[in-house]
Homo-oligomer: A and B are copies of this chain.
């Protein structure tokens, strides 16, 4: 299996090492072979090649079956012009590989419920999958430019019906494998694109009569995520709403460093990355939480390589490790075992073998 590794910036490099070790363990245990090809992206690529997404990296990604990404960005590159920023590399890769579906699972780990900012009775039992459209909407719509000599600016929220159809299909299929409840989020009382979105969901639901569907306005969704996160199963929404809501949801459990994500297209090719950022403040100190990256590697095994058993093995090893009390510095656990990136990775590996 050909896997491109893009460690990127900050703690990205450190947690990528953890993912490699875990994947090598799985390879040995299950008799697979992963070929890793490492390339530059983001600020690191700007520093080395003057481009956040070098051609060489893009070419390697095009040839890969899956891409693992650490994290990109950092203060150092914040003042570069828009098209030279680290984020541009990320947006470029999503668009160019056609990774239209961003999957963001948010699950409260029983061992970690106490670290949530929410009361235990509010967060307990929450298990949400947010599916965000990733290659359309305001992120890519044209025109996006200054107007009238810099006295005005415009961005464009544009969706084609087929773009909505494919992400809505993905969402229905995901709901089928879970608790069969889909919540579609839009702003249909204001936006034309949201009304088209809602229309497509209404059409598609005929094909999935076993799935319960409801529509929620984005402002109401932002409220309900906080007041009753346990009421959601699968949530599907457009790019920018998904950006906001999935980040909001990611702090509900209090353990952002644990969360993985996948950006996939229909043929199984995908890019997998932890939800956390590059955390420049703790980079290079060996204290980053590698679990988000390790669980992203598990998502890769499941979605790109159809290795359900191997993915589940990693996930249960992570669970066991948490239950043993191991935690990194981002998680405050009285009486737990505080460890660094390497020891945490080692503990997970022990639970795999």
Closest B residue to A196 using CB positions: B153
Residues of B within 8 A of A254 (CB): 227
In the complex, residue of chain B having the shortest beta-carbon distance to the beta carbon of A155: B157
Chain B, Cβ-Cβ closest to A243: B219
Stretch at the interface among A29-37, A137-145, A326-334: A137-145
Q: Identify which of A58-66, A115-123, A315-323 touches chain B.
A: A115-123
What are the interface flags for A275-301 relative to B under an 8 Å C-beta threshold, 1 for contact and 0 otherwise?
000000000000000000000000000
The count of identical subunits is 2
Contacts of A46 in B (CB 8 A): none
Chain B residues lying within 8 Å of A243, measured Cβ to Cβ, are 187, 218-219
Least Cβ distance of A208 to chain B in Å? 22
Q: Are A91 and B190 in contact (CB under 8 A)?
A: yes
**Are A192 and B153 in contact (CB-based, < 8 A)?**
yes
Is there contact, CB below 8 Å, between A223 and B195? no
Q: Is the interface of A mostly helix, strand, loop or mixed?
A: helix
- Is the beta-carbon distance between B226 and A145 smaller than 8 angstroms? no
Q: Chain B residue with minimal CB distance to A145?
A: B192
Q: Which residues of B contact A219 (CB under 8 A)?
A: 243-244, 247-248
What distance in Å separates the Cβ of A322 from its nearest Cβ neighbour in chain B? Answer: 20
Question: Given B139, B189, B252, which contacts A85 in the complex, CB threshold below 8 Å?
Answer: B189
A161: Cβ under 8 A from any B Cβ: yes
Contact A191 B226 (CB under 8 A): no
Q: Quick check: is A220 within 8 A (CB to CB) of the other chain?
A: yes
Q: For residue A244, which residue of chain B has the nearest CB?
A: B222
How far apart sit A192 and B245, CA to CA, in the bound complex (Å)?
21
* Cross-chain contact A153 with B158 (CB below 8 angstroms): yes
Question: Separation in Å of the A249 CB from the closest CB of chain B?
Answer: 9
Inside 8 A of A148's CB, which chain B residues have their CB?
Answer: 160
Q: How far is the CA of A144 from the CA of B192 in the complex (A)?
A: 6
Contact partners of A151 in chain B: CB under 8 A: 160-162
